[in-house]
Amino acid sequence: MIRGSIVALITPMHKNGEVDYQTLEKLVEFHVQAGTDGIVAVGTTGESATLPVDEHVKVVETVVKTANNRVKVIAGNGANSTSEAVELTLRMSQLSGIDAFLCVTPYYNKPSQRGLIKHFEAIANSSHIPQILYNVPGRTAVDMLPPAVAELSQHDKIIGIKEATGSIDRLHEIKALVSDDFSLLSGDDETSLAFLQAGGHGVISVTANVAPSEVSNICELIKQDKYDEAKVIDEKILILHQKLFVESNPVPVKWALFRMGLIPECIFRLPLLEPEPNSKLVIEQALQQSGFIHA
Residues annotated as part of the active site: 134, 162
Cα separation, 194 vs 216, whole angstroms: 15
Contact (Cβ atoms closer than 8 angstroms) between residue 103 and residue 120: yes
Contact (Cβ atoms closer than 8 angstroms) between residue 98 and residue 73: yes
Residue 69: exposed, middle, or buried by beta-carbon count in 10 A (0-12, 13-18, 19+)?
exposed
45 is in an annotated binding site: yes
Cα separation, 209 vs 206, whole angstroms: 6
Question: Which CB contacts under 8 angstroms, 24+ apart, belong to 164-170?
Answer: 164/134, 164/135, 164/136, 164/137, 164/138, 164/188, 165/135, 165/136, 165/137, 165/138, 166/190, 166/191, 167/191, 168/194, 168/195, 168/198, 170/146
- Beta strands in 112-254, from DSSP E residues, in sequence order: 131-135, 158-163, 183-186, 202-205
- Residue ranges at the known binding site for pyruvate: 45, 204
- Residue ranges at the known binding site: 45, 204
